[in-house]
Structure 1
Amino acid sequence: MLDRDDNYAGVYDRRVGFGQRPALLMVDFAHAYYDPECPLFGGEGCRTALAAALRLRQAAKAAGVPVILTRVGYHPTGVDGGRFFEKAAPLTAFLPGRATAEFADGLVPDADDIVVTKQYPSAFFGTSLAAMLTTLGCDSVLLTGLTTSGCVRASCVDAMSHGFRTIVVGPACGDRHDAPHEANLFDMNAKYADVVDLAPALAHLEGLRATA
């Protein structure tokens, strides 16, 4: 994570900590980010993020923690993507029938996984995610996904805004370049969430398993 300077130290240092009833949210691990022919190709940062997120999913399932996967999907015209689809040309990768719209290799939804389809950056905007988390009795979100500077950040802000304690697992988030990845982890940690490494997140899930 980026070093804090005098403008942040002592100002944005507060930690909120883990919740007791989390859900694991895996945002947009789509084939688009792993296909070198796709404009959204993310390289090594996205590959390592998926590997870390899959470890978290295994630990979440062992602890009885809900696992929620998001995918992006549009009407063939893209009209349900509104101005976002109009602005971001690579979103055509998520039109019906495109292989790039499918889940990444190695990420096959299990029968007990919940899949949420979205059209905008946040996993919460225009979806039933917040109501579903409330129904499940969740007080917190362990957030992973792609990309750190886009849909992860938007989902982080909305998770916090809906009242969920939000934990961003840094190594389980990826971007196309280290600079936006690190800058957005820094800013999310300052204002909206706790950003943690993989080991503490796995330990928290193991602790929940032990007390279940």
Structure 2
Amino acid sequence: MGKSALIVIDMINAYGHADADLLLPSVSKVLPAIVRLLERARAEGIPVIYVNDNFGEWRSHHGELLETALAGPHAGLVEPVRPDEASLFVIKARHSIFFETPLSYLLGQLGIDHVILCGQVTEQCVLYSALDAHIRHLRVTVPEDAVAHIHADLADAALRMMQRNMGAAIGTVDSIGLGDGERPS
């Protein structure tokens, strides 16, 4: 059995995009669970990898994305989950964390065979990332209380699809196993 990594999807965000008003309440609700998940992963020595949209800013890097988000009106949603010095960071331009990014290579270099996905948006980026992880033969865990949605009904359907069609372990931050990909209790 290999190792696990926590993947934080699109949480470095200034929320200036379409549907942000629909997303913000869900982000506020799941933020404490994401913070607990980050604390658990860091305490257990699980690698934390942020994979974040570049929002079309092709000249920026992760530090600039973080600075922009922290300078915006929703900095309170970013500060608690900001990357630490040990965190890794991958920039993406589309929904999946794997689409034309070096993430697969990075996971291979780290010996990762299990990914724990948290962040946003459940029915978009999290769903597509879970599918791409599954087709790469990675074990997938999604703590349902640590993923934010735009549309609750679509998020519920997405979680069911991840569990049924991709064999993803779905549970809560407090019930999932981090280090070994065990099923929630």
Q: TM over 0.5, yes or no? A: yes
Aligned equivalent of 1:71: 52
Which one-letter code corresponds to 1:122 in the other structure?
S
SS of the residue 2:175 aligns to: helix
Larger C-alpha radius of gyration, 1 or 2?
Answer: 1
Matched, 1:199 2:180: no
Matched, 1:40 2:20: yes
After superposing the two structures, state which structure 1 stretch, 47-56 or 150-159, moved more.
Answer: 47-56
Change (3 A) 1:31 1:189: same
Query: Percent sequence identity over matched residues?
Result: 27
- Give the count of matched residue pairs: 169
Aligned equivalent of 1:130: 104
Q: How much does 1:180 deviate?
A: 1.2
Which one-letter code corresponds to 2:174 in the other structure?
A
**Per-residue CA shift, 1:157-192, capped at 9, x if unaligned?**
011111111111111111023111111111111111
Structure 1 segment 47-196 matched on structure 2, within 5 A:
47-76=28-57, 99=72, 104-192=78-166, 193-196=168-171
Q: How much does 1:21 deviate?
A: 1.3
Change (3 A) 1:130 1:104: same
Change (3 A) 1:48 1:135: same
* Superposition misfits of 4+ residues, deviation over 6 angstroms: 100-103
Q: How much does 1:101 deviate?
A: 10
After superposing the two structures, state which structure 1 stretch, 159-168 or 191-200, moved more.
Answer: 191-200
Change (3 A) 1:131 1:194: same
Aligned equivalent of 1:10: none
Contact 2:7 2:50 in 1 (8 A): yes
Change (3 A) 1:73 1:22: same
Measured in 2, the distance between the counterparts of 1:191 and 1:141 equals: 16
Measured in 2, the distance between the counterparts of 1:97 and 1:62 equals: 28
Change (3 A) 1:183 1:151: same
Contact 1:30 1:100 in 2 (8 A): no
Q: How much does 1:139 deviate?
A: 1.3
SS of the residue 1:29 aligns to: coil
Measured in 1, the distance between the counterparts of 2:161 and 2:104 equals: 23
Which one-letter code corresponds to 1:151 in the other structure?
C
Change (3 A) 1:181 1:74: closer
**Per-residue CA shift, 1:127-156, capped at 9, x if unaligned?**
110111111011100111100001000110
SS of the residue 1:171 aligns to: helix
Contact 2:34 2:81 in 1 (8 A): no
Measured in 1, the distance between the counterparts of 2:74 and 2:113 equals: 30
Measured in 2, the distance between the counterparts of 1:207 and 1:161 equals: 19
Question: TM-score, normalised to structure 2's length?
Answer: 0.79
Question: TM-score, normalised to structure 1's length?
Answer: 0.70
Contact 1:32 1:38 in 2 (8 A): no
Aligned residues: CA RMSD = 2.9
